[in-house]
Chains A and B, each alone.
Chain A
Amino acid sequence: MAEVRFEHVTRRFGDVVAVNDLSLEVSDKEFLVLVGPSGCGKSTVLRLLSGLEELDEGYIFIGDRMVNDVPPRDRDVAMVFQSYALYPHMSVHDNMAFGLSLRKVPKAEIERRVKEAAHTLGIEDLLRRKPRQLSGGQRQRVALGRAIVRDPAVFLFDEPLSNLDAKLRVQTRAELSKLHRRLGTTFIYVTHDQVEAMTMADRIAVMNEGVLQQVGRPQELYDRPDSVFIAGFIGSPAMNFFEVMVRNDRDGMYLDADGFSAGVPATRTSELLPYSGKKIIMGMRPEHIHVPEYMPPGTTAAPVRARVDVTELMGHEYYLYLLNGGKQFLARVDARAVPRPGQDIEVVFNMANMYAFDPVTGKAIQRTT
């Protein structure tokens, strides 16, 4: 059994609390991605799990074994490091065989496993080479191979793609997902890139400043972020935030900003009633802002006039940097719109996809529907 459980785990470095009261359960065979900005503690969590760091409080379980006092070599985990950490003086084959040779696994078995892993990763030709003769992508596969060969209970990944170029990264993402399905082992994966999280994870755990912010499926985090932080972190390009005043009039509820007034759809008015006359933070993702001519059918449109500041053509769509009432925000619109910098245009917010947050706590205003 290879589920993983953190119970109230805390790790301090002097005055800094790197991991603050973390409680998290990872199911067997799950692909969990730990994501967050630099310094949020995600790498520390991984190191605590692998045993490379010792925790100050709490418990960690691998399977049903409590591993607080178990040294790394007996925890049955394998780790892929950001810099791959291959043994430079050993060949690829020996790099992969090292862990097994330490455990006195019979030579024939070692050969079998190494060949199999090499075959899975497509590196059979490289077995005799030394790490310095390999490209970045090849080294990464060797690091993967070294982990696979050990057949551990849990795989740990510490930002494995960050040293690869963009194209290779996209390719390797897909291969990692395939690998996970094939091996059927628990993957715990750390990254700062939310795209990797969204594309690969069964569940995402977002951390900030040592504290676990939210855990859930990618779609959950996208649709129902718990807080402004999560809303702004998940989804690329990031969500736009507007400070607005809730106005409840005879003819409906509106969110008033300096430069626009957006009508609140009927489905969302009840949760905002407590905020009548008060300010809230409204979130609107760039992909939910459209140019009227090309807005998708069924859009609950709230028109907003804005000046185009910068346009970036992405091929199938434009990123528009718009200015309204002194505030800049980003929209992703259909490429046929051909906007020009300096132009005053009207865009529409799809209010059905509106997000609302309490301005003081930053937490999402709970939906009633």
Chain B
Amino acid sequence: MSQVVVESPQQLAGRHRKGRAFEWACLLATSLGVLVLVVLLVGVCVQAWGWLDGDFVSNYDSRHPREAGILAGIWGSFWLIGMTALFSVPIGVGAAVYLEEYAGQNWLTRLIQVNLANLAGVPSIVYGILGLTVFVRMFGAFPDGKVVLVSLGVATLKVPIPFGRTVLSGALTLTLLILPVVIVAAQEALRAVPGSIRNASVALGASRWQTIRLQVLPAAAPGILTGIILALSRAIGETAPLVMIGALTYVAFTPGGIESPVDVVRDPQGVVDAPFDTFTALPIQIFNWVSRPKAEYQHVAAAGILVLLIVLLILNGTAILIRHKYRKGIRW
């Protein structure tokens, strides 16, 4: 060939140098994420040092930084996430079961899937506005507001209509927020169950629901559980929708007046009242402390962040444990 491509050793060495520089740049970028995480965690720990103690966990918020505590936030988040789980698990798993086990390949199914993907990308604050209008205010349909009483023998359920700025409204809003996450995770877990199991069950005369209930769901349970835990850990950190709902920022009580696990047994009315009480949550309190001008509140905020991160660590650690344990056990 007349135009022979001749590359001198210098040119070749230059190419290799460029390649090595590029590799280093990419490595640097990758390490940036690790570095930031380390700096963040160390910074939070340093700021919280000496401020995170038993008093912090058992006190309410206070005008004096040294006396401020996160009790209201812990209990508020507890009730909030508990109720969110109560709503989102059956609805999310039910929707996933429908999409994976029952639905045909038609336009409606495709629409639902596309819709789920879009919902996942909607900013959380828009969910907050939705919750505000639908649950808290119920479109303004009950201008005077009333309370529906339901007797449970041991205690009386007092349901406010509209739901107002209660744990219930917050839980319903968060349910809608994490529903796409739960559904997608559950779908993947269901999809991982091999079709041979379903076929075998049906061949033995089981109905579709029996197959799902007795074979598919138990097999997919670890994956579904992991997905739920991860979705709930996302919900714990959500702040914006709760602000819209009206979660209070300076709060010196817990929902239902339940202040310790013992109260749950001793005060059943409190347990029944809790979902319909106004509330605060861990991230809301943190947000509030960060926003206060007094410099000491930065330390209080750091202590609150540490509590939040510990809770998340426990939750995510559990999810990973479940994932590992059952991954070893599965033998198709």
Whether both chains belong to one complex is answered with no
